[in-house]
Chain A
Amino acid sequence: MRTALTSPVAYALFVLPTILLYGLFFLYPMLSSSFYAFTDWNGLDDYRFVGFDNFLRALQDERFHKAILNNLAFIGFSVFVQIPVIVLMAMLISSVKRLQRFYKTAVFVPSILSTSVIGILWGFLYEPEMGPVNRLLGVFGIEPIYWLADPRWALLSVLIANAWQWMGFYIVLVLAAILAIPKELHEAAVVDGANGWQRALSITVPLIMPLISVVVMLSIAGGMRVVDIVLVMTKGGPVGATEVMASYMVNEAMGIDPNYGFGTAIALIIFAFALLLTSLYQMTFGRRMEGGWF
């Protein structure tokens, strides 16, 4: 009677396509990366094993150091600039009755758009001669700034565009956690005479800490992964001012003179950094914030 659920053939047919595709595009690339990373393969000629040369070359390259620092800038900007604003906005949205849905829907919009379109859009906003950003600053008598061409401003410009894209997404995430807090807690605090700020700091913030911890984790992962917006807006320039690890990898490995061995070594370094930072965070701050979430 139960053959429908116990047939090994049917089982295999259900899972095999997934296993094949997944194995081919996840497991195999992971293994082959670990292999190519120790070679000098350029895609055409024979390759030879070079030991840890690729890794050493990357770790000794000052441009790669700059790229690592820029990845850390992405993470730092998310954690110390974006997250406070995100939490504040989410609290404000949760505090209003009228227009709550509108705010939620509106702030989420940028996160459904393609990063490449956002890069183009912001490139236009930053345009030195006629872009609205400089036009607006011009009203206050500020001379035009070459946002994306000036190494002093380029990274900040990309960070702001990136923040514009993703903040709404996190606001909605935090908002959901705030709205899930039982109303009784706030009512009890009101009875005890707590004002709005006191309630926010002593009820809302502690209760959403587990989720903020998740947001920090996602920011770390996102900051390690970032590449699209850099490639579209600046290609890592000017003179490496906005280079991140992944754009360095793409520029080095996929250029006119491809070097897949070197590229996969960088990929593994990115992976190792991501693992290292996430586990460091988990061991230090993350654990304290683990709450009964989910």
Chain B
Amino acid sequence: MALKRVVPHAVLMAYVAVVLFPFVFVLFSSLKGSNVEIATDPFGIPKSWRFENYAEAWVKAKIGVYFFNSVYLSLASALAAALLAAATAFAIVRMRFPRVGRGIYQTVLIGMFIPGNVLFIAQYILVMNLGVLNTHWALFLPYTAGALPLGVLLLAAFMKSLPGELEEAAIMDGLSSAGLFVKIVLPLTLPALVTVFIVNFLGAWNEYLLANFFISKDALRTLPTGMVGFRDAFRTNYALICTGIVYSVAPVLLLYAFLQKQIIEGMTVGSVKG
């Protein structure tokens, strides 16, 4: 009986160890003095904790620049997409144009069935024609657009479930449609908005393909592409590369520590509905 209880934990602990080991390894390596120390003792704790590596990587690798670019692009496009999707969901679900609404809803949902990289080259040409290649608009616009289908889907479902009496009362009070949307509907939709925002944010934060080809100026790079460039430039300095990995992983893990419930829910719901 005791064995029966131990076996599942033993198997699960082994799996968790495989999942978490790379993180521990990278964290230790980032604090080691040299490749030799990593090579001779890959699994051990660093002999002397070289925190200077972090300052060095921040400056040498311009991680600060990539980091800032990623933060503000992800925030901006996640917020823009959440608000635009909310406005659209409000109009098609709550306003009195059901037939137009259904048409828009279905058209937007087609987007969920088109694999992203199928549109990649056509989007590249589009961005080039718009004259925004090599600016942050080249990422902001497709990131925002790409997040719309799922956002509209989730928010429309959520808004459908809101009671109708609320807005009746609000209209009696003389609120316009914009007032109704901002003062009544948005606050009530907040839980779903947070989920949509997080999914959008992680999507933009982690995006690689567009970021790699639509931006070639180093100062405009985001973390995923900046990190790859950094790796290719410092191929031989493993401690420094590991420092870079820690920098790009830490904020996401921190976010995850506080918002794991919303993150897990947002990502899984999104995938299954799509």
Q: Which A residues have a C-beta under 8 Å from some C-beta of B?
A: 1-2, 4-8, 10-11, 13-15, 17-19, 21-22, 24-30, 32-33, 36, 43, 89, 92-93, 95-96, 98-99, 103-117, 119-125, 127, 129-132, 135, 164, 168-169, 172-173, 176, 196, 214, 218, 221, 224-225, 227-228, 231-232, 246, 249-250, 253-254, 260, 263-264, 267-268, 270-271, 274
CA distance A104 to B209 in the complex (A): 29
Asked if A2 and B122 make an inter-chain contact with CB atoms under 8 angstroms apart, the answer reads no
Name the contact of A108 in the complex, choosing from B119, B248, B264 (C-beta under 8 A).
B264
Asked if B272 and A271 make an inter-chain contact with CB atoms under 8 angstroms apart, the answer reads no
Name the contact of A227 in the complex, choosing from B4, B117, B128 (C-beta under 8 A).
B117
CA distance A110 to B23 in the complex (A): 10
Asked if A120 and B119 make an inter-chain contact with CB atoms under 8 angstroms apart, the answer reads no
CB-defined contacts of B178 to chain A, threshold 8 Å: 10, 13
Asked if A132 and B43 make an inter-chain contact with CB atoms under 8 angstroms apart, the answer reads yes
Answer whether A21 and B20 are a contact pair too, CB < 8 Å, given A228-B209, A231-B212, A270-B115. Answer: no
CB-defined contacts of B48 to chain A, threshold 8 Å: none
20 residue pairs from A and B, CB less than 8 Å apart: A1-B172, A4-B175, A15-B91, A17-B87, A18-B87, A18-B88, A18-B108, A30-B119, A92-B12, A93-B12, A114-B208, A116-B228, A130-B38, A135-B42, A164-B19, A196-B4, A221-B115, A227-B117, A250-B120, A267-B122
Asked if A33 and B119 make an inter-chain contact with CB atoms under 8 angstroms apart, the answer reads yes
Asked if B8 and A95 make an inter-chain contact with CB atoms under 8 angstroms apart, the answer reads yes
CB-defined contacts of B20 to chain A, threshold 8 Å: 106, 109
Asked if A106 and B228 make an inter-chain contact with CB atoms under 8 angstroms apart, the answer reads no
Q: Mask for B160-187, Cβ within 8 A of A = 1, else 0? A: 0000000100111001111111000000
Q: In the complex, which residue of chain B has the Cβ closest to the Cβ of A131? A: B42
Report if B238 contacts A (CB, 8 A): yes
CB-defined contacts of A27 to chain B, threshold 8 Å: 107
Q: Mask for B196-239, Cβ within 8 A of A = 1, else 0? A: 00000010011111001100000000011101100100000010
Asked if A5 and B87 make an inter-chain contact with CB atoms under 8 angstroms apart, the answer reads no
Answer whether A96 and B8 are a contact pair too, CB < 8 Å, given A5-B167, A109-B19, A169-B267. Answer: yes
Report if B188 contacts A (CB, 8 A): no
Shortest Cβ distance from residue A69 to the other chain B in the assembled complex, whole angstroms: 18
Asked if A99 and B268 make an inter-chain contact with CB atoms under 8 angstroms apart, the answer reads no
Asked if A271 and B148 make an inter-chain contact with CB atoms under 8 angstroms apart, the answer reads no
Asked if A172 and B209 make an inter-chain contact with CB atoms under 8 angstroms apart, the answer reads no
With A107-B19, A164-B22, A169-B267 known, 12 other A-B pairs at CB within 8 A are: A14-B91, A14-B181, A18-B88, A18-B148, A22-B149, A33-B121, A36-B121, A106-B16, A112-B256, A121-B22, A260-B124, A274-B118
Asked if A130 and B42 make an inter-chain contact with CB atoms under 8 angstroms apart, the answer reads yes
Asked if A43 and B125 make an inter-chain contact with CB atoms under 8 angstroms apart, the answer reads yes
Majority DSSP secondary structure for residues of A touching B: helix
Name the contact of A92 in the complex, choosing from B8, B142, B145 (C-beta under 8 A).
B8
Asked if A225 and B117 make an inter-chain contact with CB atoms under 8 angstroms apart, the answer reads yes
The 5 closest A-B pairs by CB, nearest first: A29-B122, A130-B39, A114-B206, A25-B145, A14-B91
Shortest Cβ distance from residue B49 to the other chain A in the assembled complex, whole angstroms: 20
Asked if A22 and B120 make an inter-chain contact with CB atoms under 8 angstroms apart, the answer reads no
CA distance A232 to B124 in the complex (A): 20
CB-defined contacts of B206 to chain A, threshold 8 Å: 112-116
CB-defined contacts of A130 to chain B, threshold 8 Å: 35, 38-39, 42, 238
Asked if A33 and B118 make an inter-chain contact with CB atoms under 8 angstroms apart, the answer reads yes
Q: Mask for B44-76, Cβ within 8 A of A = 1, else 0? A: 000000000000000000000000000000000
Asked if B117 and A117 make an inter-chain contact with CB atoms under 8 angstroms apart, the answer reads no
Shortest Cβ distance from residue A169 to the other chain B in the assembled complex, whole angstroms: 7
Shortest Cβ distance from residue B98 to the other chain A in the assembled complex, whole angstroms: 11
CB-defined contacts of A108 to chain B, threshold 8 Å: 260, 264
Asked if B96 and A124 make an inter-chain contact with CB atoms under 8 angstroms apart, the answer reads no
Answer whether A15 and B92 are a contact pair too, CB < 8 Å, given A22-B145, A103-B12, A214-B272. Answer: yes
Q: In the complex, which residue of chain B has the Cβ closest to the Cβ of A253? A: B121
Asked if A117 and B249 make an inter-chain contact with CB atoms under 8 angstroms apart, the answer reads yes
Report if B136 contacts A (CB, 8 A): no
CB-defined contacts of A176 to chain B, threshold 8 Å: 268
Q: In the complex, which residue of chain B has the Cβ closest to the Cβ of A262? A: B121
CA distance A103 to B202 in the complex (A): 22
Shortest Cβ distance from residue B28 to the other chain A in the assembled complex, whole angstroms: 11
Answer whether A168 and B167 are a contact pair too, CB < 8 Å, given A123-B231, A267-B118. Answer: no
CB-defined contacts of A28 to chain B, threshold 8 Å: 122, 126
CB-defined contacts of B190 to chain A, threshold 8 Å: none
